[in-house]
Amino acid sequence: MFRTSGLHHLTAIASDPQRNVDFYAGILGLRLVKQTVNFDDPDTYHLYYGDGTGRPGSILTFFPWPTARRGRVGAGQVAETQLAIPTGALAFWIQRLTAHQIAFAGPLRRFEHEAVLTFTDHDGMPLALVATDAAGTLPGWAGDGVPEVMSIRGLHAVTLWVQRRAETAQVLTGTLGFRELATQGDIVRHAVADAVPGTMVDIRELPAGLGGTGGAGTVHHVAFRAADDDFEFGIRAQVSAAGLSITGQIDRTYFRSMYFREPGHVLFELATDGPGFTVDEADAALGTTLQLPPQHEHLRDSLIERLVPLRRPDRMPATSEMLS
What is the per-residue pLDDT across 119-159, written as a single tens digit (0 to 9) for each? 999 999 999 999 999 999 999 999 889 999 999 999 999 99
Residue 292 located in a structural domain: no
Mean pLDDT across 208-237: 97
The residues pairing with 254 across neighbouring beta strands, listed in sequence order, are none
Residue 143 located in a structural domain: yes
Burial 18-45 (b: 16+ CB within 10 A, else e): ebbbbbbbbbbbbbbbbbbbbeeebebb
Residue 236 located in a structural domain: yes
Residue 141 located in a structural domain: yes
Compute the half-sphere exposure of residue 232: CA atoms within 13 Å on the CB side of its CA.
Answer: 27
pLDDT at 322 over 90: no
Measured CA to CA, the distance from residue 16 to residue 264 in angstroms comes to 30
For the beta sheet containing 256-261, the strands, ordered from the edge strand earlier in sequence to the opposite edge, are 31-38, 41-50, 59-64, 7-14, 219-226, 267-272, 256-261, 250-251
Compute the half-sphere exposure of residue 125: CA atoms within 13 Å on the CB side of its CA.
Answer: 31
Mean pLDDT across 37-54: 96
Q: What share of the chain is helix, strand, coil (3-state, %, to 5)?
A: 25, 35, 40
Q: What is the CATH number of the domain that holds 274?
A: 3.10.180.10
226: three-class secondary structure by DSSP: strand
Q: How confident is the model at residue 232 (pLDDT cuts 50, 70, 90)?
A: very high
pLDDT digits (tens, 9 = 90+) for 264-277: 999 999 999 999 99
Residue 254 pLDDT = 98
What range does the domain containing 111 cover? 7-279
Residue 299 located in a structural domain: no
DSSP letter at 173 equals I
Q: How many domains does the chain have?
A: 1
Q: Is the peptide bond before 275 cis (omega within 30 degrees of 0)?
A: yes
pLDDT at 315 over 90: no
Strands (E), 15-135: 31-38, 41-50, 59-64, 77-86, 105-110, 114-120, 126-132
Q: Return the percentage of the chain with pLDDT > 70, whole number.
A: 97
Residue 294 located in a structural domain: no
Residue 287 located in a structural domain: no
pLDDT at 83 over 70: yes
Residue 149 located in a structural domain: yes
Supply the pTM of this predicted model.
0.95
Q: How confident is the model at residue 209 (pLDDT cuts 50, 70, 90)?
A: confident
Mean pLDDT across 236-254: 98
pLDDT digits (tens, 9 = 90+) for 5-19: 999 999 999 999 999
pLDDT at 110 over 60: yes
pLDDT at 321 over 50: no
Measured CA to CA, the distance from residue 99 to residue 231 in angstroms comes to 45
